[in-house]
Amino acid sequence: MADVTREVRFDTLHVVTQPAVRPATLTLGVEEEFLLADPRTGRVVPAAREVRERAAGPGADRLVFELTQFQLESNSTVHVSLADLHGDLLALRCAATGAAASAGLGLLACGTPLDGNDGVPPLSPCPRYHAMHREFGAVMRGQGVCGCHVHVGIGDREEAVRVSNHLRPWLPVLQALAANSPIADGGDTGYASWRALMMGRWPSAQPPPFFRSLRHYESLVDGMLAGGSIMDRGMIYWLVRLSEHVPTLEIRAADVCPTAGEAVMLAGLVRGLAETALRDVRAGVPAPDVEDTLLRAAYWRAARDGVDGEALDLFAGAGVHGSRVPAWRLVDRLLEHVRPVLEENGDWAPLTLQLDRVRHSGSGAARQRAAYAGHGRLSEVAELLMRQTVASCWA
């Protein structure tokens, strides 16, 4: 490819990259879950059916029901370009926001309801969800949490499980960076991601095991089905799993991101990790076999502190069981790990610019806490969340 300068426009900001680069090889898709709330109080409102019926415009048909009646989920189409993914996610958020506003409600990109969700939530009228309630009982209390799920196009399932092995140590870093649920049940939980703790009640909602092969993956799923810890394959809630309906690897470690730009940042980093891992798999580079206990400990620390606090370093070296370091240090290590891939496909400049914004303004969790600390009003947190949900800035 010729060594030429290429200018890329993202919204109103110019980013100049040199030289021109090849497109990324792995496709991306993103699922985002949102809350419907009273804009004056921040309290969730079970109005998903009404809001869904009011949705119109581009992407309205890709807004779907979730577990509870106060949630909506959006599904992007398949993309290679991060700029195109951003436009799609923003259009979906705007369609959902407009429909919610027409019903007198706000759309909140937030990992947990701010207030009043301590019992079993009003479930969507889906027989499967009601069967889950009957089977798992009080686990359902306080559910209705919102995540961001990134799908990376890897069609070979054997390769995909091996990529999952390489991704395992990075899952706490992704969770820390995307933590966006410090407020729940009317106050500060002390965690940057309370959603991670709430999701962790489900038997399978944890970092994935180290898989010896696709056959091993399937044998573990069969065992969970036989034991009843999952009712069906849709309840494989591992933080990385093989999709059962599209040829992708699905990464489920993150809270829903406050802005579309931050969701694209997450997706771009996930793809960088997946493509780096896929190259290692094909080159015969072994994945680090991090102990499950330490990986769960690192994920808990990421949920507690987010990116604004400390993290458990799983990369300290052989024989070292980890130490606590500033979380941003591991984000920087992740960046260096994926930098060759990001520079090759042109994602380095926009992703690092978006990361610099988060460093400057604070994570989603930090921004929520700042809004709440002012007067201790959930309405001010809700106002921030509604404003962020349709913010257009990207790279």
* Of residues 13, 73, 18, 31, the one with CA closest to residue 348: 18
153's tokens: 């196009």
Report the share of the chain in percent with pLDDT over 70: 92
Is the distance from CB of 170 to CB of 208 less than 8 angstroms? no
* 384 Cα distance to chain centroid: 19
- Structure confidence by residue, pLDDT tens digits, 181-208: 999 999 999 999 999 999 999 999 999 9
pLDDT of residue 25: 85
What does the angle CA 216 – CA 218 – CA 223 come to, to the nearest 5 degrees?
Answer: 95
382's tokens: 């809700």
Q: How would residue 20 be classed by pLDDT, with cut points 50, 70 and 90?
A: low
Q: What CA–CA distance (Å, rounded) separates 195 from 182?
A: 8
Sign of CA dihedral 250, 290, 321, 292: positive
So what's the architecture of 6-389 in CATH? 2-Layer Sandwich (3.30)
283 sits in the region (left: phi over 0; alpha: psi -120 to 50; else beta) called alpha
Is the distance from CB of 123 to CB of 130 less than 8 angstroms? yes
Phi, psi of 224 (to 5 degrees): -65, -40
Q: What CA–CA distance (Å, rounded) separates 287 from 111?
A: 31
Does the structure show a pLDDT above 70 at 336? yes
- Structure confidence by residue, pLDDT tens digits, 80-132: 999 999 999 999 999 999 999 999 999 999 999 999 777 899 999 999 999 99
Say which residue the tokens 């002012």 belong to: 374
Query: 119 exposed, middle or buried (CB, 10 Å; 0-12, 13-18, 19+)?
Result: exposed
- Domain residue extents for the chain: 6-389
Contacts 24+ apart (CB under 8 A), 320-326: 321/294, 322/294, 322/297, 322/298
Q: What CA–CA distance (Å, rounded) separates 46 from 303?
A: 27
Per DSSP, what are the bridge partners of residue 183? 188
Does the structure show a pLDDT above 80 at 212? yes
